[in-house]
Amino acid sequence: MDTTLQDPSPAFGRGDPMLGHVLDGRYRVDARIAVGGMATVYRAVDTRLDRVLALKVMHPSLATDVSFVERFIREAKSVARLAHPNVVGVFDQGADGAYVYLAMEYVAGCTLRDVLRDRGALRPRAALDILEAVLAALGAAHRAGFVHRDMKPENVLIGDDGRVKVADFGLVRAVDTVTSTTGTLLGTVSYLAPEQIEDGTATPGVDVYACGVVLYEMLTGAKPHPGDTPAQVLYRHLNEDVPPPSDVVPGLPPALDRLVASATARDPRARPHDAVALLGHVLEARAALTEAELDTDPPGAREVPHAGADDRTSVLPGAVQQPLPAEADGVHRTSLLQSPPPPPPARRRRTGGRPRRGTFAVVAALLLVLGVGAGVWYINAGQFTQVPSLLAKTEAQAKQRLDAAGLHPGGTTAYQYSDAYERGTVMATDPEANARIRDDGTVQLTVSKGPKTVKVPDVAGSRLSEAKSDLKDRGLEPGMVTKEFSEETDKGSVVRTDPKAGTVRATGSAVALVVSKGAPVDVPDVTGESEDDAVAEIEDAGLKAEIATARVTSDEDEGDVARQSPADGRLAEGDTVTLTISKGPPMIEVPDVTGLSVDDAHAKLEDAGFDVDEDRGLLGLFGDTVKSQSVEGGEKAAKGSTIKITIR
């Protein structure tokens, strides 16, 4: 994965749902740094320890793939075991829902790819300084039994303090293992060793080969085997030697040609056996060079575009067993290419054992591998500057700041509408603030023309959906929708807008819509009516009647309307009134009033919720005592029903 652990532009990653999220209850995600094929790298803050770090989060779509998750965890464990000053450290590993992550050391600076893109070829001294630090890191990995497998300029970080660190150990594997059991090849095609391409072998030799290619690129500013497709690049790595860098940069010392040839020998047996051995060769080569040779500026140094078919970490189809033309030694090799291009003219193949290392080179190499570290303290000094923050400054102020920083406004200033920046102020720069560019470089300014304005259209009488569409077409946003009764406007159509039609507003402004509920209808009171009569009266008023599923006990007779919702007020035509039907009054216990006086019996029964009827007959005309009652005391009767008492 091509990732750089460096400061991103402030706007980079805007809209990413991870931004502002606190992962695993600990890591607050502040900015997105880079995106690769397997994961996204963010700048984050460890809220427990209050330190800035880099958070490498696997893409959720890959979190269900056991092999990718295992590779992630393997990276954490492998790098944690290295603990080397030239290796980007891993602090923590975990998962939070669908997010599997690594908490890593944050390196503020740039990548070697950035340097090569900006400067082209490097001086031999700078190239060797960087390579020594890389080999120290890889040497520690090789001594621990691991192979990086994806060495390239994107994975070499150069901090603002000049320290060099190797990143992205996501493809590490134990020595002598194959790349995959699923028929795929992982890596970046420009730096793959022939044995990686042919059978996926992962030995320290593949890292040595990749470092040789990186050295060639640092010395020349270009890749040794360019191609329009990954297939072409792979074919050339299998069938062509890496040319001497002096073919591209005349005057480079022969010692550097020999160093590249040794590291990139197509036969792995002809290469230094691991990074420690190659580091010894590098130190010997440096000792053989004069100060003038180390500091020679490469002629015609140029910028090299980063984009291309061979710059990305790729997953390539499994090997197709197709023989290639025989090499000079008569050995046929198997290629991953389905349709290889015609073989190039035969080249002399470099062979031979490793040159004998001196005691000084061996000791120095081991010291670097054991953690002395290496820095490129001058690589950035005097070469680059940071773009000053120009946002919200007037165009004149921005140009003054650029001049003070030794930079220049680039070309014609661009002007765009903006709701966020006042007219005449800088709303964007390219490169953005804090980006590192070469001294005397140019910065393109984009200046705000202020908000773009538009008149609110007249959408009165339009259906709501049509009105919303019309507002969007004018660059406005439909806002809150409210409803009100209207005798003049059909139900569902727009009565008016707020602000009113013809008002000038900035594009993107919200416009509230008032929609008609139609002419108002008075809600009739149907409580106590039978269900059929109530429904008929509701519908005659232009409303709809809906009967509630559950019936309730009420003082209304069984089958009559116990209550309605709404009970009164006004509704729009076609609105619904919900009717709840009574299942009759509740059954309550009847008090015993026999033997009581007529007045006391009345009081007791009425207090209990009953009506009272008297039966005096001829014998009770002059009596005052209750002899019996229609419902005996202790039994239940409907509340509100009549209890007849007999008086004698």
* CATH number of domain containing 57: 3.30.200.20
pLDDT category of residue 158 using cuts at 50, 70 and 90 = very high
pLDDT at 368: 59
The phi and psi torsions of 207 (rounded to 5 degrees) equal: -70, -35
* pLDDT for the residue numbered 580: 96
Catalytic residue among 7, 114, 129, 150: 150
Indicate whether 75 and 20 sit together in one domain.
yes
Q: Is residue 324 scored above 50 in pLDDT?
A: no
245 three-class SS: helix
Is residue 493 in a domain? yes
The answer to whether position 334 is within a domain reads no
Residue 315 pLDDT greater than 70, yes or no: no
pLDDT of residue 52: 92
Q: Edge-to-edge strands of the sheet including 611-615?
A: 611-615, 642-647, 626-629
175, part of any domain:
yes
Q: Are residues 210 and 306 in the same domain?
A: yes
Q: Which of 74-78, 472-476, 596-600 has the lowest mean pLDDT?
A: 74-78
Lowest mean pLDDT among 165-174, 266-275, 376-385, 562-571: 376-385
- Residue pointed to by tokens 């420009």: 190
Does 278 lie in the same domain as 185?
A: yes
Provide the CATH number for the domain around residue 604: 3.30.10.20
| pLDDT score at 383 | 60
What is the pLDDT, as a whole number, of residue 359? 53
Q: 492 pLDDT band (50/70/90 cuts)?
A: very high
At 385, phi and psi to the nearest 5? Answer: -140, 165
Residue 473 is a catalytic residue: no
Q: Are residues 550 and 508 in the same domain?
A: no
Same domain for 264 and 369?
yes
Residue 74 counted as domain residue: yes
**Residue 32 and residue 42 in contact, taking contact as beta carbons nearer than 8 Å:** yes
| Co-location of 233 and 124 in the same domain | yes
Q: Provide mean pLDDT across the span 434-447.
A: 86
**Contact between 457 and 411 (Cβ < 8 Å):** no
Question: Mean pLDDT over residues 50-63, rounded?
Answer: 86
Residue 258 lies in a domain: yes
3-state secondary structure of 217: helix
- Comparing C-alpha atoms, which of 577, 527, 579, 532 is closest to residue 557? 527
455: Cβ contacts below 8 Å, ≥ 6 apart: 474, 501, 502, 503, 504, 505
Residue 331 lies inside a defined structural domain of this protein:
no
Count of structural domains within the chain: 6
How far apart, in Å, are the Cα atoms of 165 and each of 4, 102, 143, 385? 11, 17, 17, 21
Among 80-94, 169-183, 244-258, top mean pLDDT goes to 244-258
Domain boundary among 46, 71, 106: 106
Average pLDDT over residues 471-495: 90
CA angle 81, 87, 89 (to 5 degrees): 60
CB 494 within 8 A of CB 513: yes
State mean pLDDT over 202-219. Answer: 95
Question: For position 507, what pLDDT does the model report?
Answer: 80
- Residue 23's Cβ-side half-sphere holds a number of Cα atoms within 13 Å equal to 30
Residue 472 belongs to domain spanning: 453-516
State the pLDDT confidence band at 298, using cuts at 50, 70 and 90.
Answer: confident
Say yes or no: 290 and 413 in one domain.
no
Return the pLDDT at 61: 78
Q: Where are the beta strands (DSSP E) in 410-509?
A: 414-416, 426-430, 436-438, 442-448, 453-455, 477-484, 494-498, 504-506
First to last CA, the chain: 108
Domain end call among 562, 581, 600:
581
Residues 6+ apart with CB under 8 A from 486: 495, 516, 517, 518, 519
> What mean pLDDT comes out for the span 450-470?
91
- C-alpha pair distances (Å), 624 with each of 290, 602, 616, 619, 633: 140, 12, 9, 11, 19
In this structure, the strands spanning 494-498 and 436-438 are unpaired
Which token pair is 175? 């020595």
374 and 395 inside one domain: no
Which residues, in sequence order, are CB contacts of 559 under 8 Å at separation 6+?
A: 530, 531, 581, 582
Which position has the token pair 């300014």? 445
List pLDDT tens digits, range 68-114. Answer: 777 777 767 767 777 788 999 888 888 887 788 889 999 888 899 99
Average pLDDT value over all residues in the chain: 80
pTM to 2 decimal places: 0.49
Q: Please give the radius of gyration of the chain, using alpha carbons only, rounded to the nearest integer.
A: 43
**Tens digit of each residue's pLDDT (9 = 90 or more) over 393-424:** 899 999 999 999 889 998 889 998 876 678 89
CA-to-CA distance for 63 and 67, rounded, in angstroms?
9
Q: Exposed (0-12), middle (13-18) or buried (19+): which is 123, by Cβ within 10 Å? A: buried
Domain boundary among 53, 84, 106: 106
Q: Residue 344: its pLDDT value, please?
A: 38
- Whether 499 is covered by a domain: the verdict is yes
Residues 557 and 574 in one domain: yes
Give Cβ neighbours of residue 183 (< 8 Å, ≥ 6 apart).
317, 318, 319
- Measured distance CA(321)–CA(318) in Å, rounded: 9
Q: How far from chain centre, in Å, is Cα 65?
A: 18
**What torsion, rounded to 10 degrees, do the Cα atoms 287, 289, 295, 301 define?**
-120
Neighbours of 94 (CB within 10 A): 15
pLDDT at 24 over 70: yes
Residue 387 φ/ψ, nearest 5 degrees: -70, 125
Residue 138 lies in a domain: yes
Same domain for 260 and 393, yes or no, is no
606-619: average pLDDT:
87
- Residue 42: per-residue pLDDT: 92
Across residues 326-355, what is the average pLDDT? Answer: 35
pLDDT in tens, 128-156: 999 999 999 999 888 888 888 889 999 99
In this predicted structure, the answer to whether residue 360 has a pLDDT above a threshold of 90 is no
**Residue of 463 and 376 predicted with greater confidence:** 463
DSSP letters along 40-54, please?
EEEEEEETTTTEEEE
Residue 293: half-sphere exposure toward Cβ, Cα within 13 Å: 15
C-alpha to C-alpha distance for 444 and 152, rounded to whole angstroms = 30
Does 599 share its domain with 506? Answer: no
The pLDDT score that the predictor gives to residue 3 is 40
- Residue 183 CB neighbours (<10 A): 11
Percent above pLDDT 70 for the chain: 80
Structure tokens at 85: 């000053």
- Is the domain of 222 the same as that of 367? yes
Q: What percent of the chain has pLDDT over 90?
A: 45
DSSP state letters, 295-340: TPPPTT-------STTSSEEEEPPPP-EEPPP-TTS---EES-SSP
* 3-state SS assignment for residue 383: coil
Mean pLDDT of 270-293: 93
